[in-house]
Amino acid sequence: MARVFVIDDDPVVCRLARHILKRAGHETLTFGDGLEALKALEQSRPDVVITDLVMPEVTGLELLRRIRADARWRTLPVVVLTARSGMDEQRRAAQAGASHFLTKPFSSAQLLDEINRFVAPK
């Protein structure tokens, strides 16, 4: 079981991801923007972070930059989940420190594959 942070300003995406991950046995915490997630990181370390790029307050790219700038979280796997599938977005996400990139819409299998990429299934 992994602890997963899902950060997306779309509550439907958060509910869907939480449902998929919970059914697979993962603990999932959801946040509506990067600022909420950064505050939560101070209290609890997830095994994987899944974040949208476009959000209010702190964007996914800014969240990535802040995570990578902090020695405590530098190696934390961060998967970018976004509807923006262009090469420019992927390049910017990779430069900011994304571990992998997943586009919306996504299937249950794709989401679980991303988690399993970084956390061995039990």
Instruction: Give the count of alpha carbons within 13 A of 82, CB side only.
Output: 23
pLDDT on residue 70: 96
> Per the structure block, which two tokens stand in for 6?
């899902």
Look-up of token digits 């997306």:
8
pLDDT on residue 121: 57
Fill in the DSSP letter of residue 47: S
Q: May I ask the CATH class of domain 3-116?
A: alpha beta
Tens-level pLDDT at each residue, the chain (122 residues): 899 999 999 999 999 999 999 999 999 999 999 999 999 999 999 999 999 998 988 999 999 999 999 999 999 999 999 887 778 888 999 999 999 999 999 999 999 999 999 987 55
pTM for the model: 0.93
The answer to whether the beta carbons of residues 74 and 32 sit under 8 Å apart is: no
Domain boundaries, the chain: 3-116
